[in-house]
Amino acid sequence: MPTWMTPTLIRPLLCSLLQSELSAYRDVSLASLPDAPAIDSLERLYLASSVAAFFCLHETGVEDRLLMEESVEAWAALIAKAVAHTSGLVFRTSGSSGEPKACHHRWADIEAEAKALHQRISERTTPKRVVAWLPLHHLYGFMLGVAYPAFNGIDVVIADKTLPPLLEGDVVVTVPPRWAYLAKARTDWPSSVLGVSSTAPLPGEVAETLSRQNMAAVMEIYGSSETGGVATRFRHDAPFTLLPHWQRSTADTLTAADARAHAASLPDRVAWEDTRCFTLAGRHDDVVSIGGVNVSPIAVAREMEALPEVRQCAVRSTSAGDGQMRLKAFVVPAESSRHDVGERIDAMLNDWPAAKRPVSIIYGDALPTNAMGKVTDW
């Protein structure tokens, strides 16, 4: 029963969700949408259903009332009343390959994480304001930009395209690619500013640069859309330490450290140093996180092989500028497509999301393999 979910708080969250859903519905980039786009009747139905699913409004019976209201403010007011009687929120995984998975997070678990984040951040600084530069409708954006500050009574500023002027005691929360930008674009920070990075590993060189720029600390969060925030670390070469609301159950599962009936499976293989600290030892699957988006190189290779110009394809992750993870591909062209194949494939991939578009493509007569016939790196 979250009393902190006010209409004022819900409005920017709602706008973030609506922009993302309309972008997906129209199959256009977010950047191409105006701030207040006109929508038709079919888009209105789609957006209302998306909002109802996200806020679990079906549990209250008020979902149809969204169609009776004409403004975002009215929707926010309706939702603020409804969430007092709902079980939680439904977020979706950020995968670019396959159907996004719905992940239901109960209010009790959201509040436990918000409290745990405050405990961990308060170990390094006294937070005076949160500056959130990330999409609020994703789990990490909601937890860091909405739940954490609101539940703990901290002021919050939602940044759009750039950061506002920063103040002493700010907690700046954003994603690794933006931290890489800030590490180059800024040379120093106001006193006691703490950074929080989430969604993907923070490259070591970025973390080291930020640590030399007068920041109080940079906290990296480990977790997923399914688990929420699990653990944190303040140095890129240090193990992760479980947040206070989690405890180890088995080698790859966690349970709530309080009375909540809650468990989670870790998305990665981990090596435990003790009951609270661990290091990562690789994913259970082939998924990599690129700019906060989960991408399967195998699935991307299959998509590329579906192109008429491609006979065979292998895709792997690679380290690009600032240590950011991207994809690279090795392509064996179809016999009929050898002439100018690179230009034609590049043109086809221009419309792909950045996270799954290879930044480097090598062409050859056969995939590189070892003596056992397994594909090797190139």
Which tens digit of pLDDT belongs to each residue from 259-302?
888 999 998 889 999 999 999 987 767 788 888 788 889 989 99
Question: Which pLDDT score, from 0 to 100, does residue 157 have?
Answer: 97
CA 95 distance to own-chain centroid = 9
Distance, first Cα to last Cα, the chain:
54
Place of tokens 């678990």: 109
Which class for 332: exposed (0-12), middle (13-18), buried (19 or more C-beta within 10 A)? middle
Model confidence over 38-83: pLDDT tens digits? 889 999 999 999 999 999 999 999 999 999 998 999 999 999 999 9
pLDDT band of residue 341 (cuts 50, 70, 90) is confident
134 pLDDT higher than 80 = yes
Report the pLDDT averaged over residues 171-191: 91
Q: Distance (Å, rounded) from C-alpha 196 to C-alpha 142?
A: 14
Model confidence over 296-320: pLDDT tens digits? 899 899 999 999 889 899 999 888 8
How many Cβ atoms are within 10 Å of 260's Cβ, its own excluded?
14
Report the pLDDT averaged over residues 348-361: 89
The per-type count for the chain, helices as H runs and strands as E runs, is 10, 19
Dump the DSSP string for 238-297.
SPEEE-TTEEEEETTEEEESSSS--EEE-SEEEEESSSSEEEEEEESSS-EEETTEEE-H
Report the pLDDT averaged over residues 194-207: 90
How many Cβ atoms are within 10 Å of 250's Cβ, its own excluded?
10
Short-list 14, 22, 150, 19, CA closest to 79? 14
Backbone angles phi and psi of 305, in degrees to 5: -70, -20
Beta bridge partners of 318: 326
pLDDT band of residue 93 (cuts 50, 70, 90) is confident
Q: Is residue 149 within 8 Å of 162, Cβ to Cβ?
A: no
Q: At what angle do helices 72-82 and 7-26 cross, to 10 degrees?
A: 120
Distances (CA, A) of 214 to 76, 190, 218, 294: 39, 7, 11, 32
Short-list 238, 349, 233, CA closest to 301? 349
Please tell me the total number of residues recorded for the chain in this structure: 378
User: With b meaning 16 or more CB within 10 Å and e meaning fewer, what string describes 264-282?
Assistant: bebbbebeeeeebbbebee
Question: Which pLDDT score, from 0 to 100, does residue 268 have?
Answer: 87
